[in-house]
Structure 1
């Protein structure tokens, strides 16, 4: 397939990840293979080794010997700016190499093995370069612009990387092995023709990229408008706008929007026959007092009092504001001594850490401890259905919430949210609320060398409490909408995967080897 045919099909591939960057790579690859044009005879393309155009015997320069002299330094860090540094010898301080004008610098140290820099004198000062470059000095049979593009092509970069030696940041391309890499040199006239075509196609890529960015901006604007419309009027008709093919909304944004609406009473209709939440709170308070009086519930620090001015937003009239610690039993855990083998060997009690909160529901322990450990450390074994919140942990862990599907004990990095005995479970609704409050919980723990939540902060999380019957309706409705979003996300992933596969197939077809003619 010719390059022209590929570009005709490119519109089908714009949803593929990094489509334009891959197109740029393809253009360079087609160029150095002589496949940008329909009929390019390769018999006149000379096969040479890189070593034939690599500068040899360049003198070392010690700038410190001329501390007041200005140098034009082509350093590795300066590549990112596109301009060499102009420094005095005293400012440089390490040995460099002479640099002929019109050279091409090829990066040889990790992670800069893909860097190609065409030298063009900027000043009248002496040209010097870091020894971490391989210096290419083409003769008049080369167009420097063509050679720079050849050295930037994916196939050459793969060959260059294959010569690398060492480990990690000390990885360097072997100058000796790079010198053995074979490249093809077209006639000079053909080189110039290829450069002109590459520049033309790269301009097309720039235009395609700008169009993609403009389209993404429009999509983002439409997405925000659709989310706002749904938030203001969460009706079936406005819901259709959230799943419109013309401007797919990010699934994560949809999930956040739905959870926000759910806990504000905007996803479901209120029913005057529902028992008001204030009455539910009275029942919970009475049962809590009974449990405390019978020592069936541990005495812990009470939640603070709050006023109506403190609540974050308005809720329906039959809802009520409370705090999480007023309607649940909240506790934490600990880590049995690691030096006591009898606490860990042949353990049977699942022991959960904050890392497990990224996988809900939790169906197995991170480790298992013995009943002796539970007794010695007075660990609580929480029942299935308990919600766990990560109080601290790496990365995104802090603030995550998960449901226990097994009875288990936990470490000190988790808070456990248990339903009060004798009160109908509100766990499913509370899990939705806590998922919605992920960012708020992380904000509560901000600051300090190691941001942490604590049990009291969890207890004093505000809860917009609906009547029990409406809680159940909310959970069902959210489940239905989340299923739609899961399908949407799967469809997006499938479309991107198909586009990526098609793109790779077309690239393979476009760049397949052909016999020289």
Structure 2
């Protein structure tokens, strides 16, 4: 009724007092009005409780995922098998000169695990710089911070493309790459990561991103998990903070110390996390209905 009686132009409608004065509606007895108000307040209160409960449950799901990841990187999520090949054997195949770092923290882990830096097992690759005058509608897609969402690498409607002459096979996005946001004004977004679950043709990272590329593809699923942990996020936010812009230097990533389990245990950890996260994600989806 009100919409049909609004005056004014198509784009700007106005509500005159006369329209309200002439508005008619059914009026129940006073006692019934009180009952209606009480009932509505009761239902609204229940709805508020449900909404609060959903928020609390969503927070609990996020905290549970963080705890699962923490247990995983400390060797407490899946059983350990003494028959697994120790991680150091794999590391020596990557680098015959590899020497493990022995410290007090490493003694808290199984002897089959090995203390390493990211530089021991991954390459850190910088992004492409380009002239703004070269931006065009097709060519090589350049990933920026907005392309890293919810742990994934996505396309955006405002993606930048540059000529094929900028082609660089090193920073071409490959299956197993971990893409890191390396420069931003946000303490929350610095170090944010996305995982490339496939080769992405004609797609390179921009200068404000970094690629963490495992030196063996088999390591990628487990190292991906490390870059989702609160331990990693806290480390990066601490070393990269600046007065205006936060910057992740290559050395920050290279020097980050991790503990690597045997490859077979890595695979068991990844499988278990996928199972647990699937259950939590289904609960999350149900809450969004």
Q: TM-score, normalised by structure 2?
A: 0.73
Structure 1 partner of 2:70? 260
Structure 2 partner of 1:434? 227
User: Does residue 180 of the first structure (1) align with residue 19 of the second (2)?
Assistant: yes
Q: Greater Rg, structure 1 or structure 2?
A: 1
Q: Which has the higher contact order (CA 8 A, sep 6+)?
A: 2
Kindly state the Cα deviation for residue 411 of structure 1 after the two structures are TM-superposed.
0.8
SS at match of 1:463: strand
Kindly state the Cα deviation for residue 414 of structure 1 after the two structures are TM-superposed.
1.0
Is the CA contact 1:350–1:364 (under 8 Å) kept in the aligned structure 2?
no
User: Does residue 324 of the first structure (1) align with residue 125 of the second (2)?
Assistant: no
User: Does residue 278 of the first structure (1) align with residue 88 of the second (2)?
Assistant: yes
In the aligned structure 1, how far is the partner of 2:106 from the partner of 2:10?
Answer: 57
SS at match of 1:431: helix
In the aligned structure 1, how far is the partner of 2:179 from the partner of 2:137?
Answer: 25
> Structure 2: which 5+ runs fail to align?
none
1:80-479 map, 5 Å: 174=14, 177-181=16-20, 182-184=22-24, 192-201=30-39, 204-205=42-43, 208=46, 216=53, 250-286=60-96, 308=103, 314-339=108-133, 341=134, 344=136, 347=139, 349-358=140-149, 362=153, 366-374=159-167, 380-393=171-184, 397-398=189-190, 399-403=192-196, 405-407=199-201, 408-420=203-215, 423=216, 425-437=218-230, 439-440=233-234, 443-444=237-238, 445-446=240-241, 448-479=243-274
Kindly state the Cα deviation for residue 178 of structure 1 after the two structures are TM-superposed.
3.7
Kindly state the Cα deviation for residue 203 of structure 1 after the two structures are TM-superposed.
5.6
Structure 2 partner of 1:483? 278
After superposition, give the CA deviation of every residue in 1:209-248 in whole Å (9 maximum; x if it has no partner). Answer: 68759x949x96xx8xxxxxxxxxxxxxxxxxxxxxxxx9
Q: Flag the 1:452–1:185 CA change in 2: closer, same or farther, 3 A.
A: same
In the aligned structure 1, how far is the partner of 2:237 from the partner of 2:24?
Answer: 58
Q: Flag the 1:197–1:317 CA change in 2: closer, same or farther, 3 A.
A: same
Q: TM-score, normalised by structure 1?
A: 0.44
SS at match of 1:474: helix
Is the CA contact 2:136–2:163 (under 8 Å) kept in the aligned structure 1?
yes
Q: Would you say how many aligned residue pairs link Structure 1 and Structure 2? A: 280
Q: What's the RMSD between the two structures over aligned residues?
A: 4.4
